[in-house]
Chains A and B, each alone.
Chain A
Amino acid sequence: MKDVKQEVRTFLGRFFHNLELTDDQNFFELGFVNSLFAMQLVLFVESEFGMQIGDDDLDITHFQSINAIANLVERKKVAA
């Protein structure tokens, strides 16, 4: 679980310069990123953690914070 959060944090660091994000902060609400970033995030999660995000899971609430992403990855790993 810790690894997942760290990987995500590293990735986000490229977009949120000099910003310390907490695990449950909704980064879309911070106003720094747009919808294209959302797609980049999905693609990152898929390639980094080797999973396919299907239609059902393509929900912005699964990607809006480090915790949300970690939960999604954990859930899909268990299901696999």
Chain B
Amino acid sequence: MNIRTIGVVGAGVMGTGVAQNFAQSGYHVVLVDISDDILAHAKQTIINALRLQRLLDRSEQQAASLEETLQHITFTTDYRLFTDVDFVIENTTEKWEVKKAVYHQIDAICPEQTIFAVNTSAISITRVASVTSRPERVIGTHFMNPVPMKGTVEVIRGYHTSEETIATTTELLKTAGKKGIIVNDMPGFVSNRVLMLTINEAAYLVQDQVAPAEDVDTIFENCFGHKMGPLKTADLIGLDTILYSIEVLYESYNDSKYRPCPLLKKMVDAGLHGRKNGRGFYRYQ
């Protein structure tokens, strides 16, 4: 399958990173979101990221200049531009109702051989496939943040995902500098299922006053060689996102081990969302 144009749905943190990454890898990208403000912000984010890359590594034989890379991206609120895309990567809000509506729309617009890659940390790939007319062409691609800098992607095989779809996807990822690791479809997959539990339990440690956040993180960083302790990681991901993810796991498995930590709920209620708004377990400038 010859892939030339990638449709990216959602210009939030992940979608913007995905668009930048594939544009830099030489693909034409159509980036869609619901408002021009969001798209303008996405464009500025990409510009800043490309400039930062240039600032820090001039040795890289970056053939493409900032202008060239930007020209590879079409920023639009119009899904109808998807009549031409070969591969879609969807990065909208982690809510079923939102995703369901998106897939209904793109399923009707995209050519029938277009693959739909769901960039989700929580939603069932099999379920997404069920609301499309092409379940064998629906696959999960769980990118890590920041997308251009993280080389490994969790690739999720839905119940009906074909071997051809998997092969095409891993090949595409390779051309974008990424290695795909294929896992099966179950809530949380590998990364989130274990990470959310770890973060949730670390939050309990703070709640139960076993140790303050800094010490919890230092123990993981120094004793286990983790680059970032669980609570710093939580702040980076966003406490509201963490809470939402653990709630999805709790509902999916009905297993009390995923019961959300009350301190976490309280912090989110109080507006402490982590790095994104200046305060979580730590304070940020």
Contact = CB atoms under 8 A, between A and B. Distances in A.
Interface of A: 14-15, 35-36, 38-39, 42-43, 53, 55, 58-60, 63
8 contacts: A38-B52, A39-B48, A39-B52, A55-B66, A58-B51, A58-B55, A59-B58, A60-B55
Nearest to B67: A55
Given A38-B56, A42-B55, A55 B65 contact: yes
B-side interface size class: 10 to 19
B285 interface: yes
Contacts of A63: 55
Nearest to A35: B56
B54 A55 contact: yes
B285 A39 contact: no
Interface of B: 48, 51-52, 54-56, 58, 65-66, 285
Contacts of A55: 54, 65-66
Nearest to A41: B55
B208 to A, nearest CB: 32
A58 B54 contact: yes
B52 A35 contact: yes
Given A15-B285, A59-B55, A60-B56, 12 more contacts: A35-B52, A38-B52, A38-B56, A39-B52, A39-B55, A42-B55, A43-B48, A55-B66, A58-B51, A58-B54, A59-B58, A60-B55
A9 to B, nearest CB: 18
A45 to B, nearest CB: 12
Contacts of A35: 52, 55-56
B58 A42 contact: no
A16 B180 CA distance: 40
